[in-house]
Amino acid sequence: MMRKLQVYGTGCPRCKKLAELTEQAAGELGIEYELEKVTDINRITAAGIIMTPALAVDGEVKVVGKVPDTEEIKKLLL
């Protein structure tokens, strides 16, 4: 099953790190995924996100305002 992963952020170093760790976690779990980096501030606020970076899994926002480690991200993907 293909998972849709979205990293919300304006492209700051923390946003890039969250995208990198999310790809790493999904790869280690062997999950098929599509990663979208949402950088448009209007789309970010429309999703109800007021702090970045943020991670959404299949349309559900799971993390806001922090960069969790790979193990925590894996738990969110399962």
pLDDT digits (tens, 9 = 90+) for 1-32: 899 999 999 999 999 999 999 999 999 999 99
Q: Which of 12, 35, 46, 51 is catalytic?
A: 12
CA distance 12 to 28: 25
Q: Which of 5, 6, 9, 15 is catalytic?
A: 15
Do residues 40 and 70 make contact, with C-beta atoms less than 8 angstroms apart? no
pLDDT score of 46: 96
CATH number, domain with residue 7: 3.40.30.10
What is the pTM for the complete model shown? 0.94
Verify whether residue 12 is a known catalytic residue.
Answer: yes
Structure-token match 């806001």, residue found? 64
Q: Which H helix or E strand runs over 15? A: helix 13-29
Verify whether residue 45 is a known catalytic residue.
Answer: no
Q: Report how many domains make up the chain.
A: 1
60-75: average pLDDT:
97
Residue range of the domain that includes 20: 3-77
